[in-house]
Structure 1
Amino acid sequence: MSDRETSLNDNAPPQRRIAGAVVVHEGRVLLVRRRIAEGQLSWQFPAGKVEPGESCEKAAVRETKEEAGLDVVAVVPLGERFHPITGRQVSYTACEVVGGTAHVADAEEIAEVAWVILSEIPQYIPYGLFEPVQQHLDVALRS
């Protein structure tokens, strides 16, 4: 990389990075419905902004607790992409439940939560899933 490229990158505004938690429990995946939809994006995985100094995995765990009141642990990163609807950089982490019961924990941001079986996902997320997330759920939710 040239000095010019380095200085341009150093001055670039920070990316708004989002961490999403793919929480599977008892044959279902957790989805939350945002109070304010972004286009087609209404139902999604618990997700939110990665705070400075925070890993994507820790952010996914924190956001799941804040939005759905559920205690989870990060199991494995599933990948990152620029979301086709929001344009934000999203990192997905597979998580497992270690305590609590899913409910609307942040009523200002979340309207409802749902535990969804594999065949129901397209009813909630009609534009499809990020392929590594879909592959993970195909295995994790196999009946």
Structure 2
Amino acid sequence: MTQPEEARPPIAAAIIVQDGQVLMVQRRVKEGSLSWQFPAGQVESGESGADAAVRETQEEVGLTVEAVQELGQRVHPATKRTMVYVACRAVSGTARLVDDDELVAVEWCDRPKLTEYVPYPFFGPVQEYLDAALS
């Protein structure tokens, strides 16, 4: 039996922009209609959204990041999961495919490539952050 949506822990997503590109991962299993997403995962007990975004980025793509700012939270319209969006800055390492059970690809995307992978606007505060960071 699955937990009701409100009882499920939130998902934290790391929005990492470097050199005019944003880090995206391609999931093996689509969530909603998306296969390309930000590095993300479930917030564990006792963990903040920022902590989860940092941990998930390390686990999925081997990149060490630090949380800079929480951009906002919402219930995702497709997955119905609470999402926490965290702007992060790369500290060390190189993004690469580490979690090949969940992911099939990792890519730094410029604005045109991002629009190709995610053909509709992001959650407002994330879109505003990306508009500023990718300009």
Q: State TM-score, norm by structure 2.
A: 0.92
* 1:86 maps to 2:73: no
Question: Is the CA contact 2:9–2:44 (under 8 Å) kept in the aligned structure 1?
Answer: no
**How many angstroms apart in 2 are the aligned matches of 1:40 and 1:13?**
21
Question: Is the CA contact 2:67–2:89 (under 8 Å) kept in the aligned structure 1?
Answer: yes
User: Which runs of no fewer than 5 residues in structure 2 stay unpaired?
Assistant: none
Aligned partner of 2:39 among 17, 35, 46: 46
Which is higher, the Rg of structure 1 or of structure 2? 1
User: Which runs of no fewer than 5 residues in structure 1 stay unpaired?
Assistant: 1-11
* 1:103 maps to 2:110: no
Question: In the alignment, residue 50 of structure 1 is paired with which amino acid?
Answer: V
Task: State the shift of 1:16 in Å.
Answer: 2.6
**How many angstroms apart in 1 are the aligned matches of 2:82 and 2:121?**
17
Task: State the shift of 1:84 in Å.
Answer: 1.4
Task: State the shift of 1:14 in Å.
Answer: 2.4
**How many angstroms apart in 2 are the aligned matches of 1:56 and 1:39?**
21
Aligned partner of 1:62 among 55, 58, 61: 55
Question: Is the CA contact 1:77–1:92 (under 8 Å) kept in the aligned structure 2?
Answer: yes
Aligned partner of 1:135 among 114, 128, 132: 128
Task: State the shift of 1:126 in Å.
Answer: 1.9
**How many angstroms apart in 2 are the aligned matches of 1:100 and 1:115?**
14
Task: State the shift of 1:85 in Å.
Answer: 1.3
Say which SS state the counterpart of residue 33 (structure 1) adopts.
strand
Tell me the number of residue pairs that the alignment of Structure 1 and Structure 2 aligns: 131
Runs of 4+ in 1 over 6 A off after TM superposition: none
**How many angstroms apart in 1 are the aligned matches of 2:131 and 2:117?**
16
Question: Is the CA contact 1:41–1:85 (under 8 Å) kept in the aligned structure 2?
Answer: no
Deviations 1:23-42 (A, max 9, x none): 01111000000011123110
Task: State the shift of 1:13 in Å.
Answer: 6.0
Report sequence identity in percent. 51
**How many angstroms apart in 2 are the aligned matches of 1:25 and 1:84?**
28
**How many angstroms apart in 2 are the aligned matches of 1:115 and 1:13?**
33
